């Protein structure tokens, strides 16, 4: 079994972190050789808890060179860049509980692919409340993962993501994501756009805790997801789409010709107005996972107007769903 490094970014996570660490220590079949962590300015004793942590057979390493407030996306990507080399890197949130076979399932599926192919594993989640009582399952994707989906939707929930070494090299060669994006969505975009493999596990791999401190939770019902989308409105989505397209243009040399062409079509249409955007969506073949989500996407592109918006990052321990 090849080695795994876990990347843990924290922010005021002392309440739930011991249960997460315990679940890491109970992994079966693929045990990590290192837990590489950084804290984003906690005031609740989280760093002290981690400095005292002991995991049998697994080194607990602090990223002491990564200082300052970075926000979640920059924090995780900085950990990925500074991490000890390994065959696999797994993103880890501070407040979940991993099922015992999480790493074994991820590494087995990634190990079946050629080493030179960038690959990303992600999976479904068992949703639980603050006390780990089950409250449902995260939705299953109804359409296959791919770049045409990644351009307009993220299905790679960060706390389930495991990257192989080729995917890590790809991420380190790429420009940073735009403000407002998250590390998991950026990984999904780059791996799929570079012709890599995105492996979605339909069986839950973690207990995904939903609690009062979630920045964004995981609405499990289609109606709830639709309501959340309309509350966010088109502007935030269009700003992020524009930001992703500009960042991907800077990574054009890493993309397949087909992916680069989709980016070019959408970038030109974005500056040309709503009707052109609708035609470009069809030309680029982009899609979201359900018909309702597809219709929302088209309504946003038709009704939304470009404009500046607030920029900033969530604290590094925060959640954000795509």
Specify the pLDDT at position 234.
82
CB under 8 Å, gap of 24 or more: what pairs does 228-234 form? Answer: 229/293, 229/296, 230/296, 233/300, 233/304, 234/299, 234/300, 234/301, 234/303, 234/304
Name the domain boundary from 209, 231, 255: 209
> pLDDT over 90 for what percent of the chain?
77
CA atoms within 13 A on the CB side of 14: 12
Which of 137 and 271 is assigned the larger pLDDT?
A: 137
The verdict on 230 and 284 lying in the same domain is yes
320 part of a folded domain: no
Residue 73 sits in a domain of what CATH number?
Answer: 3.90.550.10
Specify the pLDDT at position 315.
62
The verdict on 58 and 132 lying in the same domain is yes
The verdict on 68 and 190 lying in the same domain is yes
Show the CA angle centred on residue 256, arms to residues 113 and 268, nearest 5°. Answer: 145
The verdict on 184 and 249 lying in the same domain is no
The verdict on 56 and 148 lying in the same domain is yes
322 part of a folded domain: no
The verdict on 158 and 52 lying in the same domain is yes
229 part of a folded domain: yes
What value does the mean pLDDT of the chain take? 89
The verdict on 235 and 150 lying in the same domain is no
The answer, yes or no, to whether residue 231 has pLDDT greater than 90, is no
Interval 99-132: pLDDT, tens: 999 999 999 999 999 999 999 999 999 999 999 9
Specify the pLDDT at position 284.
96
Name the domain boundary from 181, 209, 237: 209
The verdict on 245 and 174 lying in the same domain is no
The verdict on 145 and 9 lying in the same domain is yes
243 part of a folded domain: yes
DSSP 59: E
How far is Cα 193 from Cα 166, in angstroms, rounded to an integer? 14
227 part of a folded domain: yes
How far is Cα 226 from Cα 92, in angstroms, rounded to an integer? 27
> pLDDT over 70 for what percent of the chain?
87
The verdict on 23 and 58 lying in the same domain is yes
The verdict on 180 and 246 lying in the same domain is no
Specify the pLDDT at position 82.
96
174 part of a folded domain: yes
296 part of a folded domain: yes
61, β-bridge pairs: 36
316 part of a folded domain: no
Domain ranges, residue 191: 4-209
Taking the whole predicted model, whether its pTM rises above 0.95 is answered as no
**Whose CA is closest to 213, among 139, 284, 129?**
129
Name the domain boundary from 176, 209, 242: 209
Interval 33-78: pLDDT, tens: 999 999 999 999 999 999 999 998 999 999 999 988 999 999 999 9
The verdict on 241 and 200 lying in the same domain is no
Domain count, the chain: 2
């Amino acid at each position: 079994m090849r080695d795994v490094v876990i990347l843990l970014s924290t922010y005021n996570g002392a309440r739930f972190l011991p249960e997460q660490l315990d679940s890491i220590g109970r992994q079966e079949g693929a045990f990590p050789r290192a837990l590489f962590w950084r804290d984003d300015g906690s005031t609740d004793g989280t760093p002290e808890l981690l400095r005292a942590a002991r995991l049998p057979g697994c080194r607990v390493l602090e990223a002491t060179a990564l200082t300052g407030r970075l926000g979640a996306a920059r924090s995780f990507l900085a950990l990925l860049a500074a991490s000890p080399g390994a065959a696999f890197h797994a993103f880890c949130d501070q407040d979940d509980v991993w099922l015992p076979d999480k790493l074994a399932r991820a590494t087995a599926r990634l190990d079946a692919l050629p080493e030179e192919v960038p690959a990303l594993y992600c999976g479904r989640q068992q949703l639980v409340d603050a006390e780990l009582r089950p409250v449902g399952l995260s939705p299953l994707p109804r359409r296959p993962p791919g770049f045409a989906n990644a351009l307009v939707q993220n299905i790679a929930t960060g706390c389930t993501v495991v990257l192989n070494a080729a995917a890590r090299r790809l991420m380190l060669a790429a420009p940073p994501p735009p403000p407002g994006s998250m590390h998991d969505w950026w990984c999904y975009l780059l791996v799929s756009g570079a012709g890599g493999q995105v492996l979605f596990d339909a069986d839950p791999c973690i207990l995904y805790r939903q609690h009062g401190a979630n920045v964004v939770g995981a609405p499990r019902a289609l109606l709830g997801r639709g309501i959340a989308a309309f509350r966010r409105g088109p502007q935030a989505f269009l700003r992020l789409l524009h930001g992703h397209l500009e960042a991907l243009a800077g990574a054009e040399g890493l993309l397949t010709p087909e992916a680069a062409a989709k980016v070019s079509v959408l970038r030109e249409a974005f500056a040309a107005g709503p009707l052109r955007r609708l035609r470009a969506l069809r030309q680029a073949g982009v899609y979201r996972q359900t018909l309702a989500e597809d219709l929302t996407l088209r309504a946003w592109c038709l009704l939304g107007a470009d404009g500046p918006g607030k920029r900033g990052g969530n604290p590094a321990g925060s959640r954000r769903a795509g």
